[in-house]
Structure 1
């Protein structure tokens, strides 16, 4: 494990401190610092549109409605940044070179909780569901469990709380900010977030920083590249192989023991069954009775926007997979729906991801119809047409949904699985999913947030 030099909230006393970002993470950082250092002067950098709200949130804040450059940050001793602010922004790199301490809510929480029993889950896909499954399974055993992190509750919101087990989701923006964890879990590893990290290799390197701080490591054995990348970890374990928790013949198994039928999972697809294997493995490793907890898988409610069946409307089945932000995730969704007449809607914000694997699969095993839309829709459509795959183009999601209605047969399925982020048209993937539900004819207010956040 790497050496770790934590900065605690108390260490900010008498420092010149800037907060960069005013989303939920930024608010949590301000509140946590205020609760322990009420007299500390804080400067917030946020968007111009957020200035009035920020001043109302904390009247003592010095609020600057701008993105700071290196000169602006040079006025501070410590910068507490939100996860969405890339660590590779020139202003932050310059600040670091100048000796300014750059930290985050995640790093501050880890510094405050050195004795917490932590399972930190990351992965390109599957991390939210696996983290929520772990919390659900542990709670079924009566274990006081925290569910927090990138899944929807900033860790600093729980800085004064205690739990027997912390089930924490970490994004690639946060894995380099974590302190020591008892168990690190990797559900998968593909390319993503290239705009934040700058390159595919740096994305993978940043993800793998979690392995550096993990006393034990649990990885997906069905991914050879992940096994190769983590081969040097001295305490690595795996799920998805026949020796441990895995899937075979329609069941979740522990070694040769049949434990739970996949058909009884409310979260559809083998990938979700594999997520369950990851959660059960983690529970085992942490010393809890995973076999006793396994029946509670039947009560786990799937997370919204992740292959979420909305139901039947106007003669079509509608499925909201708005969380799909990589082509591999779209392929996984289509594999889950094999045998059904599916019109898939793809496309969104263009981060330059490689769609070749998706295109090759579509050439060989295309669904009923493909509709490409959004900023990268033309690029996806062009690549598909180059190999002779049929595709329709529409400018935006509303037009794509309208077209899907005309080409999908009665009883068929209309699937939103974009394989791309939402920022070309929507605030985030959840906003996109709610709009899709409304376009399909459902009440978007029925799509509730993630259940069980916090400590229970």
Structure 2
């Protein structure tokens, strides 16, 4: 646990008692604060009280009067579409609002690690797609190199639940826009921006607000190094804002969609080959094409970002390449769950939007595509570049028929449930085919979350292959 310093004897409100909320409450108590907790869910309050925490309706009249700080969970709206009633009460009472990410950076700058010869470093990763895989890749590369490293934030452990870092320790954080938009302290040593595509627009009042939340990771703390995906205008803007000259190697530009040039530090992947360039000269290269845990251009982008971060931490290209070859991928993200008779079964249940699903479709040549679910705004037209890779679609979900109608030029079979879709796709697959779950839709019409959907896919594949 990372104790929160500078709060001894103070009463601090904690709103939302999920993983991050309870973690923050424990770290505050460890630092000598008196946490006062609230969650609208009675079961969550009861669990907190069982740990000895005081609970209080923090939205009630006068509930903020003795608080010096309110710590809120990232999923709770604080501005758009409208503030939660407790956060609105904090604003009215002039009580500062923070989250566990802000508390973490506050704790890390407290001086507790000043006696270490090599202080710990923080690598923070944000973006729309690929941030989980990029974070896990960085963690894997450092682990394989024998470095002390911990993975936390939006993946792995709660950020305040990790062990205090030791000599030359590295903490890799995956940070969502919900986490970066409110944290009062954001001071990573290395910050990574993967890419940007529309998401969470209600929460951020549009794409501009969403990008602004991501940009705070770079603008607020001024990282020593910034690894920036520049295949979208926002990334190019961000890299330009951070660099003071064309040759400024504090900014590492990453691309899989264009050929970069110039005197700066560049890591790019083209036709499956990752190359590193510094001062106009190539200094490293890796063939990514045969690495099974990193299929497709989107994973090559993740590999480039992770490679760049690892290079800034002193690792050599051959060390990084060896680690990339042993990376197995993350569950529900281009995860190979089975292979038989030349047919691969790939679980990409995390592809909950059209942009992520398109990247999955472009990663394979001939696909038996399991897709569908709770459709999102914008329709399916953006999938068009990937549809030539689809031999046939097997559509699930309550809106399966409507979803199938949106797949122009693709043979589509309405299957509705996962078992039927997997059985039909597997029975019709030929050697060289990939049976791919990449839903391009949310899971909530049939599952609690995308993880449950991916687990069902894997279970249905196992059942079919075992029959």
Contact 1:124 1:189 in 2 (8 A): yes
3-state SS of 1:343 partner: strand
Deviations 1:299-350 (A, max 9, x none): 2221111111111469964211011122111111111111x2x222223344
Residue 335 (structure 1) aligned with residue 362 (structure 2): yes
CA root-mean-square deviation: 3.2
Using CA pairs below 8 Å that are at least 6 residues apart, which structure has the higher relative contact order?
A: 1
2:240 matched to 1:231? yes
Contact 2:379-2:406 at 8 Å conserved across structures: no
Distance verdict in 2 for CA 1:41–1:250, change over 3 Å: closer
Match of 1:20 in 2: 15
Please point out which of 361, 380, 400 is paired with 2:385: 361
- Give TM-score scaled by structure 2 length: 0.80
Q: Is the 8 A contact 2:368 2:425 kept in 1?
A: yes
Change (3 A) 1:214 1:319: same
Distance 2:436 2:416 in 1: 17
Looking at structure 1, the residues matched to 379 and 91 of structure 2 have their Cα atoms a distance apart, in angstroms, of: 32
Q: Tell me whether 1:45 sits opposite 2:51 in the alignment.
A: no
- Unpaired runs of at least 5, structure 1: 1-7, 444-456
Q: Which residue of 2 aligns with 1:4?
A: none
**Cα distance between partner residues in 2 of 1:26 and 1:381:** 41
Task: Tell me the CA shift for residue 157 of structure 1.
Answer: 0.6
Alignment counterpart, residue 198 of structure 2, candidates 175, 179, 191:
191
Partner of 2:164: 160
- Could you say if the C-alpha distance between residues 156 and 41 of structure 1 is closer, same or farther in structure 2, counting changes exceeding 3 Å? closer
Aligned match of 1:246: 268
Q: What whole-Å deviation, never above 9, does each CA across 1:266-301 have from its counterpart, x for those lacking one? A: 312232222122112122234443444332221222
What's the TM-score once normalised by structure 1's chain length?
0.81
Of 318, 330, 355, the residue aligned with 2:345 is 318
Q: Quick check: 2:353–2:376 contact (8 Å CA) kept in 1?
A: no
d(CA) in 1 for partners of 2:98, 2:139: 27
Equivalence for 1:348: 373
Per the TM alignment, residue 152 of structure 1 is displaced from its structure 2 partner at its CA by: 1.9
Contact kept in structure 1, 2:369 and 2:438, CA below 8 Å: yes
The 3 A distance-change label for structure 1 pair 249 and 325 is: closer
Q: 1:277 to 1:316 in 2, by over 3 A?
A: closer
2:114 equivalent in structure 1: none
Q: Residue 229 of structure 2 corresponds to which residue in structure 1?
A: 220
Q: What is the distance in 2 between the residues matched to 1:353 and 1:325? A: 13
The Cα shift of 1:442 comes to 5.5
The aligned counterpart of 2:247 is none
Looking at structure 1, the residues matched to 276 and 12 of structure 2 have their Cα atoms a distance apart, in angstroms, of: 50
Q: Secondary structure at the match of 2:161?
A: helix
- The match for 1:429 among 447, 450, 466 is 450
1:42-441 matches, cutoff 5 A: 42-56=36-50, 58-62=51-55, 74=64, 76-88=67-79, 89-91=82-84, 92-114=87-109, 116-158=120-162, 160-162=164-166, 163-176=168-181, 177=183, 178-212=185-219, 213-215=221-223, 216-234=225-243, 235-240=250-255, 241-243=259-261, 244-255=266-277, 256-257=282-283, 259-267=285-293, 268-312=295-339, 317-338=344-365, 340=366, 342-358=367-383, 360-361=384-385, 365=388, 367-374=390-397, 377=400, 380-384=403-407, 387=408, 389-398=410-419, 400-401=421-422, 404=425, 408=429, 412-441=433-462
C-alpha separation in 2, matches of 1:78 and 1:242: 46
Query: Is the alpha carbon distance of 1:109 and 1:312 closer, same or farther for their aligned partners in structure 2, counting shifts above 3 Å?
Result: same
Q: State the Cα distance separating 1:438 from its structure 2 match.
A: 1.3
More moved, 398-407 vs 300-309: 398-407
Question: Tell me, what secondary structure is at the counterpart of 2:305?
Answer: helix
- CA change 1:259–1:81 in 2 (3 A) is same
Spell out, residue by residue over 1:222-268, the C-alpha distance to the aligned partner (whole angstroms, 9 max, x if none). 33442135422235320235552222454322233563221342312
The DSSP-based 3-state class of the residue aligned with 2:228 is strand
Gaps of 5+ in 2: 110-118, 244-249
Q: Secondary structure at the match of 1:275?
A: helix
Deviation at 1:429, TM superposition (A): 2.1
Change (3 A) 1:428 1:18: farther
CA contact (8 A) 1:46 1:63 kept: no
Q: For residues 375 and 71 of structure 1, what CA distance do their matches in structure 2 show?
A: 44
1:17 deviates by 2.8
Secondary structure at the counterpart of residue 441 of structure 1: helix
Aligned positions, number: 425
218 and 73 in structure 1: CA distance in 2 versus 1, 3 angstrom threshold: farther
> How far, CA to CA, are the matches of 2:323 and 2:355 in structure 1?
29
Q: 1:10 to 1:143 in 2, by over 3 A?
A: closer
> Contact conserved, 1:22 with 1:46, CA < 8 A, in 2?
no
